[in-house]
Amino acid sequence: MRTMMISRRTMLAGTAATATVLAAPAIHAAEPKVLRYLGTAVNEGDDISKKCLADTGIKIEYVTATTDDVTKRVITQPNSFDVLDTEYFSLKKLIPSGKIQALDARKIKEFNNITPVFTKGELPSGKKIGGQGTAPWKVLYLEGAKSTKFSATPTEFVTLIPTVYNADTLGIRPDLIKRPITSWAELLNPEFKGKAAILNIPSIGIMDAAMVVEATGRYKYADKGNMTKPEIDLTMKVMTEAKKAGQFRAFWKDFNESVNLMASGETVIQSMWSPAVTKVRSQGVPCVFQPLKEGYRSWASGFCVSKGATGAKLDWAYEFVNWFLSGWAGAYLNRQGYYSAVLSTAKANMAAYEWAYWMEGKPAAQDIKGPDGGLLEKAGATRDGGSYEDRMGNVACWNAVMDENDYMVRKWNEFIAA
Amino acid sequence: MTRLKLNTVQQRLSAGAISRLQALPMAFVFAFFFILPLVLVVIVSFWDYNEYEMIPAFSGRGYTDTFEGCAAQLPELCTILKTYAKTVKLCAVTWALTLLIGFTVAYFLAFHVKSRMWQITLSLLCTIPFLTSNVIRMIAWIPMLGRNGLVNQGLQATGITHAPVEWLLFSEFSVVLALVHLFSFFMIVPIFNSMMRIERALIEAAYDSGATGWQTLRHVIIPLSKPGIVIGSIFVITIVMGDFITVGVMGGQQIASAGKIIEVRLNALQFPAAAANAVILLTVTLMIIAGLQRLVDIRKEL
C-alpha cells in the first residue's frame, strides 16, 4: 500500500516534470542559464566563459580559490557551486565525502573519444604509461550511481570528466647552468647549492622528492604515490639533509612566485609548471622545461558536478561539459602547452602547423602564437620534451593523495622545522 | 511619579550593578563572536578525523600527534618544540626592534613635532607599509634584497663584498626585516597616544629640578608611557606569534612557524589537528601576555 502510494506520487511528479519540459521555451526566457564554476585561477579564463556563453547561452560564474581551498570548500560548503574543476588526486578525499555526484557516461557525447590515457592508462598508440600515484583510471569510475567506492573496471558512472592534463618536470635556466641536465638527481646536486627550489604543496612536493631519491639510486619505491611510513621517513630524511646543507633557496606555492624566482635568477633549477616556464621565457629570460630520463610527474583535471545540482542545473552541467569537450576549449588548452582530453575535436579546431608543433614535436613551420594571440615561439622552434607520445609516454607517476597522508603531512611540518 | 520610581530603581541597584548593565551589550558581542567560536575550537580540537571529515568522537589525537616523539627525542627538540622555539625567537627579536623603533618614532612625534597638522601627517606616513598586498611586497623585496638585487649590487660596486650576500633574502634576517617594517606601526600608535597624555608640566618640573634629558626619559617619560608600551607589545606579540604569511613569504617557506603548522593541517583537511594546534598557540600566547601583565598592571595604569 505504502509503496504504491509512493510510486503514484513519483508518477505525478514525473507528469509535472514532463509538463515543465513542454513549457520549456517560456521557462528559458525567464530563467537565465547560470553555472557556478569552482576551481583555481589557472583554468578560469575569461575567453572560455565568453565563448561558452556565445555557443550555449550558459553563463559561467567563476568561484576562484587555491588548490587546497577548492577541496576545503567542496567539503564544507557543497552547495556553493554547481560544477567543480579539480584534479583526480583530490577525488580520494572528495568521493568518500559524498559531496559530488556520479556523471552518466552515456550523456557525455565524446566520452568514447576521450584519450585512452584516462580510460586505460595507455597512449593512443597502445603504449602503457606509468601508473604510480593516483592515476586517473584508478579513480575514474564508481561502482554505482550512489556509490562512494571506486570501480576497478569501467562502469557508466564517472567521477570526473577529464579536460586538461600535462606532464611536469624541472624548469632550468640553461644560461646559468651552462651544461646539459638529464636527471632529477640534479635537483640535489651541491653544484646548485642555494639555487634550487621545490613546490610547497606537501602531496606534490614529496613526489618530486621521490623522483630525486630514485634518480640518485638511493631507493626504489614500489609506488611513489603511495609510500609506506618508512619510505616517507627516508624521503624526508634525504630532503632534510639537503635543506640543512642549504640546497634550497625557497619553496614556492604560487604560480607567480615560481616565475619570479626563476626570472630573477634566485633559482636556476626547480619544480615548475609548463605555463610558468612560458611566462619566464616571455620576459626574455631563457628557461627550459627540461625533459629528464626518469620521466615526468603527471597531473590531470576536469569537471565534477555537485550533489546539489539537479533538474535543469544538472542538464546545463552536462551541456557545459559536452561543450568543453567539443573542440574549441581543447584547442585553447593545447595552445597553452597543456593537453586536451579529446584529441580529435581539438585537432579539428587547430591549424595543421599548430598541431605539428604542440602535439607532434615538429619544428614550428611559422610563428607560434598563444591563445591570446601573443607570440610564444619563432618559426623553427621545437617544443621542450617533443611530441605528445614522447612526453605523456614517459610519465612515471601521477599527483597523489597517499593512504599515509596524515603521517606525511606531519613529516612535512618536521621537514620545514628542521 | 516616574522620577520617584527611577530614584527607587537607582537606590536598589548599586553603582557596580549599573556599570555591569552598561557593559552588557559589549559582553554579548564578545560572548557571541569571540568566546563561542573559541569554545567550538577547543571542542573540535578533541574530535577525531579522517581524510575528509571531522568525526565527533572524543580523541586526543590532535594533541598526541602534535607532541609525537617529544619525550623520546630528548635532549633534542621535537618538531613542535623546535617550531615554537623558532617562533618565540622571531617574536622576541621583532618585539625588541619594534619597541625601540616605535618608542623613538613616537617620542619624536610627541615631543619634537610641535604642530598638530604635522603630527597627523607623519603618523599617516607610518601606515604606508599597509598599502600593498603581501604578494606584491614579497615580489618587491626580490629586486631589493635578492642575489642580483639593489643592495647586493651596491655592496659589490663599492667593493665591500665580492660575491652576492645570500642571507639578505629568504632568511631569518629578511623575515625580521619584513615583520619590523610591517608592525612598528602597532607600537608607534599606542605609545604616541600615551605620550600625548603626559602632562607637559611634569617634564618642565623635571628639568627645573635639574634632571638631565636622560633622567627625565628614564624616570618620567618611560614610566608614564608604560600603558602604551604594553598595549603595543600585546599587539606585536599576538600578531607575530600567529603570523605565517610573512614568515612563509620572506623565509622562502623554509622557516617553521606555529601558524604555518595550523595552515598545513587545515589544507590537509585535518581540522581537529589544526584546532589542537590553535589551542596550543593560544595558550602559549596568553602565557606571554600574562607575563607582560605581571610586569605592568595595565588596568591600574590606564
Q: Which three cell numbers stand for residue A405?
A: 597522508
- Name which residue leads in pLDDT, A370 or A172: A172
Measured from the Cβ of residue A207, the count of other Cβ atoms closer than 10 Å reads 30
d(CA B129, CA B132): 7
Measured from the Cβ of residue A1, the count of other Cβ atoms closer than 10 Å reads 5
SS3 B70: coil
Backbone φ/ψ region at A149: left (φ over 0), alpha (ψ -120 to 50), beta: beta
- A95 phi and psi angles, rounded to 5 deg: -65, -50
Residues A82-119 have pLDDT tens digits of 999 999 999 999 999 999 999 999 999 999 999 999 99
Q: Where are the alpha helices (DSSP H) in chain B?
A: 2-12, 15-30, 36-45, 61-66, 79-107, 116-125, 134-145, 150-157, 172-196, 200-208, 213-216, 222-242, 245-250, 258-267, 271-295, 298-301
The predicted structure's pLDDT at residue A275? 83
Q: Which three cell numbers stand for residue A62?
A: 567563476
Measured between CB atoms, does B225 come within 8 Å of chain A?
A: no
The predicted structure's pLDDT at residue B37? 95
For B21, residues 6+ apart whose C-beta sits below 8 A from its C-beta are B13
Nearest residue, CB atoms, A251 vs list B138, B254, B267: B254
- Residue A285 Cα distances to A172, A280, A371, angstroms: 11, 6, 21
State yes or no: pLDDT of A279 exceeds 50: yes
Residues A178-209 have pLDDT tens digits of 999 999 999 999 999 999 999 888 888 999 99
- The residues pairing with A83 across neighbouring beta strands, listed in sequence order, are A37, A305
pLDDT band at A30 (very low <50, low <70, confident <90, very high): low
- A402 phi and psi angles, rounded to 5 deg: -85, 160
Measured between CB atoms, does B252 come within 8 Å of chain A?
A: yes
Measured between CB atoms, does B143 come within 8 Å of chain A?
A: yes
Measured between CB atoms, does A253 come within 8 Å of chain B?
A: yes
**Shared fold status for A32-167+298-348 and A170-294+387-417:** yes
Measured between CB atoms, does B265 come within 8 Å of chain A?
A: yes
d(CA B183, CA B188): 9
Nearest CA distance, B108 vs chain A (angstrom): 39
Residue listed under C-alpha cell 619570479: A260
The predicted structure's pLDDT at residue B140? 80
| Residue from B122, B82, B272 nearest A240 by CA | B82
Nearest CA distance, A332 vs chain B (angstrom): 29
Residues of A in contact with B147 (CB under 8 A): 264-266
pLDDT band at A403 (very low <50, low <70, confident <90, very high): very high
- Spans in chain B with pLDDT lower than 50: 1
Measured between CB atoms, does A94 come within 8 Å of chain B?
A: yes
Nearest CA distance, A93 vs chain B (angstrom): 5
Average pLDDT, rounded, for chain A: 90
Nearest CA distance, B278 vs chain A (angstrom): 15
Q: What angle do CA B67, B69, B70 make, to 5 degrees?
A: 60
Superfamily of domain A170-294+387-417: Periplasmic binding protein-like II (3.40.190.10)
Whether residues A72 and B83 touch (CB distance < 8 A) is answered with: no
- B48 phi and psi angles, rounded to 5 deg: -100, 170
The predicted structure's pLDDT at residue B38? 95
pLDDT band at A277 (very low <50, low <70, confident <90, very high): very high
Measured between CB atoms, does A122 come within 8 Å of chain B?
A: no
Nearest residue, CB atoms, A249 vs list B170, B264, B269: B170
The predicted structure's pLDDT at residue B11? 63
Nearest CA distance, A345 vs chain B (angstrom): 36
SS3 B171: coil
State yes or no: pLDDT of A123 exceeds 50: yes
Q: Residues A209, A188: contact at Cβ < 8 Å?
A: no
For B177, residues 6+ apart whose C-beta sits below 8 A from its C-beta are B250
Q: What percent of chain A has pLDDT over 90?
A: 78
Nearest residue, CB atoms, B135 vs list A254, A401, A417: A254
Three-state SS string over chain A comes to CHHHHHHHHHHHHHHHHHHHHHCHHHHHHHCCEEEEEEECHHHCCHHHHHHHHHHHCEEEEEEECCHHHHHHHHHHCHHHCCEEEEEHHHHHHHHHHCCEECEEHHHCCCHHHCCHHHHCCECCCCCECCCEECCHHHHCEECCCCCCCEECCCCCEECCEEEEEEEECEEECHHHHCCCCCCHHHHHCHHHCCCEEEECCHHHHHHHHHHHHHHCCCCCCCCCCCCCHHHHHHHHHHHHHHHHCCCEEEEECCHHHHHHHHHCCCCCEEECCHHHHHHHHHCCCCCEEECCCCCEEEEEEEEEEECCCCHHHHHHHHHHHHHHCCCHHHHHHHHCCCEECCHHHHHHCCCHHHHHHHCCCCCCCCCEECCCCCEEECCCCCCCCCCHHHHHCCEEEECCCCCCHHHHHHHHHHHHHC
Whether residues A97 and B135 touch (CB distance < 8 A) is answered with: no
For B3, residues 6+ apart whose C-beta sits below 8 A from its C-beta are none
State yes or no: pLDDT of A8 exceeds 60: no
Residues of A in contact with B51 (CB under 8 A): 92-93, 96, 401, 405-406
Residues of B in contact with A413 (CB under 8 A): 79, 83, 256, 260-261, 264
The answer to whether the peptide bond before residue A154 is cis (omega within 30 degrees of 0) is no
Q: How are beta strands A395-398 and A296-306 bridged, if at all?
A: parallel
Domains defined for chain B, CATH in brackets = 69-301 (1.10.3720.10)
pLDDT band at A20 (very low <50, low <70, confident <90, very high): very low
A147-157 CB burial, b ≥16 within 10 A, e <16: eeebbeeebbb
The ranges assigned to domains in chain A are 32-167+298-348, 170-294+387-417
Q: Which residue of B has its CA nearest to A98?
A: B52
Q: Residues A149, A143: contact at Cβ < 8 Å?
A: yes
| Residue from B192, A58, B58 nearest A48 by CA | A58
- Residue A156 Cα distances to A160, A313, A343, angstroms: 12, 20, 21
Residues of A in contact with B65 (CB under 8 A): 406, 410
Torsion angle in degrees (nearest 10) through CA of B243, B246, B249, B252: -70
The CATH number of the structural domain formed by A32-167+298-348 is 3.40.190.10
| Residue from B280, B283, B273, B231 nearest B45 by CA | B273
- The residues pairing with A14 across neighbouring beta strands, listed in sequence order, are none
Nearest CA distance, B286 vs chain A (angstrom): 23
Whether residues A252 and B143 touch (CB distance < 8 A) is answered with: no
Residues of B in contact with A257 (CB under 8 A): 138
Q: How are beta strands A395-398 and A132-133 bridged, if at all?
A: parallel
The predicted structure's pLDDT at residue B249? 86
State yes or no: pLDDT of A27 exceeds 70: no
For B234, residues 6+ apart whose C-beta sits below 8 A from its C-beta are B289, B292
State yes or no: pLDDT of A289 exceeds 60: yes
Nearest CA distance, A414 vs chain B (angstrom): 5
The predicted structure's pLDDT at residue A9? 43
